[in-house]
Amino acid sequence: MKLRSMLFVPADSERKLDKALGSPADALILDLEDAVASSRKIEARNAAASFIATQANSLQSRLFVRINPLDSGMAMEDLAAVVVPGLAGIMLPKTNSASDVIRLGYCLDALEARAGMVAGSVRIVPVATETAPAMLNMQSFAGPVSRLVGITWGAEDLSAAIGAISNREEDGTLSPLYSLANSMCLCAAAATGTAAIDTLYADFRDNAGLAASCRISRRRGFRGRIAIHPDQVVTINEAFSPSEVELVHARRIVDAFAAQPDVGTLSIDGVMVDKPHLTQALRTLGLSGSCKPTEQ
């Protein structure tokens, strides 16, 4: 499942849902949580269920729903409404540990069976750093977790949880706790064998800033990013797609090792490369879909 870009869409806005149909985002996240006022939760839930059912064929494998938190008293009703054919995944906010993902998976087992869906077809992307317990429990994502397809992080809710005035220093850089959250998301995704999805870039009018931030994000190991406005999607997709130069270099590394399968280290343009470089080259080619199955 490709998750370069995940676009949030308020589920209670028919206009924004219709506009999202033309988006090149890899996934649409129909939001039932922060983007929806308390008085409109039921309306948003019903609208999301209807949208999924209507678009099941045209947007197959692209539709996620961000439900309300498991301890909100609304999550089970959200799930009962939206787990219908056409749903690709659930984004779980305010996840406290991997056990929350496992608990959600048990709920999905029953709801998929009720809906006549393939068992295990609904995947999960938790927002893994939004609470203080979550930060203390990030080590719970130490190995494969059923249904998990990616992990993302967030700074705004974490700021509110600990009572911070801001999540940034005076020079604009992330404060230490939030830099740690960013790094722990990368480690948790690697440990679980899933994609690390970077958090949102709040200034949706600043495309240059978004592009620069995405370049840093990808260099650090993130595989995609959340978008909060349709205009951000193209920039995010471009930033998290390998360039032609990267693909050519990666192919040279793969071909060089294929020609000399018994060596552990070889030279390309005077630079020594070894097995970690091969792993990264295969990953780069895989992002473009240009790896042969035997190479993966």
123-156 confidence digits (pLDDT tens) = 999 999 999 999 999 999 999 999 999 999 999 9
CATH, residue 231: 3.20.20.60
Last residue of a domain, one of 220, 239, 258: 239
Instruction: Say yes or no: 220 and 257 in one domain.
Output: no
Instruction: Give pLDDT, residue 289.
Output: 62
Instruction: Say yes or no: 234 and 251 in one domain.
Output: no
Instruction: Give pLDDT, residue 296.
Output: 36
Instruction: Say yes or no: 148 and 278 in one domain.
Output: no
State pLDDT tens for residues 66-77. Answer: 999 999 999 999
Last residue of a domain, one of 224, 239, 254: 239
Looking at per-residue confidence, does 3 or 264 come out higher?
3
Here the tokens at position 45 are 């839930």
Domain count, the chain: 2
Instruction: Say yes or no: 94 and 122 in one domain.
Output: yes
Instruction: Say yes or no: 215 and 283 in one domain.
Output: no
Instruction: Say yes or no: 122 and 182 in one domain.
Output: yes
Instruction: Say yes or no: 255 and 226 in one domain.
Output: no
What is the mean pLDDT of the segment spanning 230-246? 91
The CB density around residue 34, as the number of other CB atoms within 10 Å, is 14
Instruction: Say yes or no: 189 and 268 in one domain.
Output: no
Instruction: Say yes or no: 281 and 163 in one domain.
Output: no
Instruction: Give pLDDT, residue 161.
Output: 94
Q: Cβ(150)–Cβ(88) under 8 Å?
A: no
Provide the CA 68 distance to its chain's centre, in angstroms: 17
Say if strands 195-198 and 224-227 run parallel, antiparallel, or are unpaired.
parallel
Instruction: Say yes or no: 165 and 112 in one domain.
Output: yes
pTM above 0.75, yes or no: yes
Instruction: Give pLDDT, residue 1.
Output: 87
Q: What does the mean pLDDT of the chain come to?
A: 92
Last residue of a domain, one of 195, 210, 239: 239
Instruction: Say yes or no: 26 and 100 in one domain.
Output: yes
- Rounded-to-5 percentages of helix, strand, coil across the chain: 50, 15, 35
Domain of residue 277 covers 244-295
What is the mean pLDDT of the segment spanning 174-180? 97
Instruction: Say yes or no: 124 and 269 in one domain.
Output: no
What is the mean pLDDT of the segment spanning 276-292? 72
Instruction: Give pLDDT, residue 56.
Output: 87
What is the mean pLDDT of the segment spanning 56-71? 91
| CA distance to 40, 127, 170, per residue, from 162 (Å) | 28, 17, 19
Q: Which helix (H) or strand (E) holds 77?
A: helix 75-82
Half-sphere exposure of 82 (CA within 13 A, CB side): 33
